[in-house]
Amino acid sequence: MIKSNFHTHTYFCDGKDSPEDMVIAAMAKGFTVLGFSGHGQMPIENDFAMTAKTEPLYRKEILRLKKKYSGKIKIFCGAELDYFNVPSDFKYDYIIGSVHYVFKDGHYIPVDLTADDVVDAVECLYGGDFESYADDYFRMECEVVKKTGADIIGHIDLISKFFEIKAFHYADRYFHAAEKCVKKLASYNIPFEINTGAMARGYRTDPYPSREILGMIKKYNGKIIISSDCHDKNHLDYAFDKAVNLAVMCGFSEHGVITEKGIEYIPF
């Protein structure tokens, strides 16, 4: 079983636990490597990202833990950067590139805050046309590597987070927009996440991306990396068995692991 995670949030952003608590929990689970990915600073008012005050403290703490636990577990200091993130001069070990907002008519729509927020925004700004909303989301997702300098493509279909609890559904137009996005992002030759975070928080019963979109990633020779998008030390390896089964079902035989030399791929 996979004993690593590279999408990990702590109390320096919207996670529950301290970085050291995360490291101790990871070692107890038999992890050999752990990567932290604090949310980078945002120009949009929010309650999930690091700030100009907390980001340097986050980096200092992760670097301290790297030294303290050297020889016991490998630790990497990464960041999750959004399409709209404030640029950073700090050289992180790796970057996860994500889209958490759609911009429409002067409004920033949070795609994963609450299901009601999405319903209201689609009704008010798109006249109830969810497919147009999805078009805008995937149009932005197409540019996420260019905007963030990502080494990993985070939850490419985060927009589907609430599909199981609200009256949203997959449709041909949705998949057309998704495939166009996958094709472009696959050309960067960096891994797409298989992400179990929404499962851990009770929103989904399957990882994202969906089986259909994961099939598109395979079609365009994309690579994958499995993560829990962890906000709680107890969920560091949440549903990794299900993520691996999904990956194998879609034809993948290996997954990415971050090393000092970059991302390397190992068999399941």
Residue 3 contacts by C-beta under 8 Å, 6 or more apart in sequence?
29, 30, 31, 32, 33, 237
* CATH code for the domain in which residue 258 is found: 3.20.20.140
User: How far does CA 252 lie from the centroid of its chain?
Assistant: 19
Nearest to 111 by CA among 156, 62, 77, 60: 156
Tell me the pLDDT tens digit for each residue of 17-51. Answer: 999 999 999 999 999 999 999 999 999 999 999 99
Tell me the pLDDT tens digit for each residue of 104-137. Answer: 999 999 999 999 999 999 999 999 999 999 999 9
Tell me the pLDDT tens digit for each residue of 168-203. Answer: 777 899 999 999 999 999 999 999 999 999 999 999
pTM reported for the whole predicted model: 0.97
pLDDT at 4: 97
Are 197 and 228 in contact by the 8 Å Cβ rule? The answer is: yes
Supply the range of the domain harboring residue 168: 4-267
Are 16 and 233 in contact by the 8 Å Cβ rule? The answer is: yes
Tell me the pLDDT tens digit for each residue of 132-158. Answer: 999 999 999 999 999 999 999 999 999
More confident residue, 190 or 86: 190
Are 22 and 10 in contact by the 8 Å Cβ rule? The answer is: yes
Question: Looking at the predicted structure, is the pLDDT value of residue 215 above 80?
Answer: yes
Which tokens is 124 given? 């008010």
Taken as a whole, the chain contains a residue count of 268
Question: Looking at the predicted structure, is the pLDDT value of residue 54 above 80?
Answer: yes
pLDDT at 170: 79
Tell me the pLDDT tens digit for each residue of 225-256. Answer: 999 999 999 999 999 999 999 999 999 999 99
pLDDT at 127: 96
Average pLDDT of every residue of the chain: 96
Question: Looking at the predicted structure, is the pLDDT value of residue 167 above 70?
Answer: no
Provide the domain count of the chain: 1
